[in-house]
Amino acid sequence: MGEVFYIERETGFFDTSHLIDDSIEEACYYLSESKISTREIAQAFNLTDSRVGQAVRSYKKKIDQGKIKYEDETKEFWIKNFRENSGDERVTLVDEKGRYYHGWKSELENLSSEKVVELLVINKQYSDKHPLSEFSKGQAVIGYDPLVPLRNIRRTVSLLEELLEKKEKLEEEGSRIKK
Chain Cα centroid distance, residue 90: 5
Domain that holds residue 16: 9-85
pLDDT at 13: 40
pLDDT tens digits in sequence order for the chain, 179 residues long: 444 444 443 443 444 444 568 899 999 999 999 989 999 999 998 999 999 999 999 999 999 999 999 999 999 999 999 998 888 888 989 898 888 889 899 889 898 888 999 999 998 888 888 766 665 666 666 666 667 777 788 888 888 999 899 888 888 877 677 66
Residues 77 and 123 in one domain: no
pLDDT at 52: 93
Residues 70 and 122 in one domain: no
Q: Which pTM does this prediction carry?
A: 0.61
CA distance 89 to 91: 6
First to last CA, the chain: 62
Q: In total, how many domains does the chain have?
A: 2
Residues 96 and 37 in one domain: no
User: Comparing C-alpha atoms, which of 5, 17, 7 is closest to residue 58?
Assistant: 5
In a domain, 1, yes or no: no
pLDDT at 161: 92
The residue from 85, 106, 121 where one domain ends is: 85
* Cα angle: 102, vertex 103, 108; to 5 degrees: 145
Per DSSP, the three-state class of 155 is: helix
CA distance 45 to 60: 19
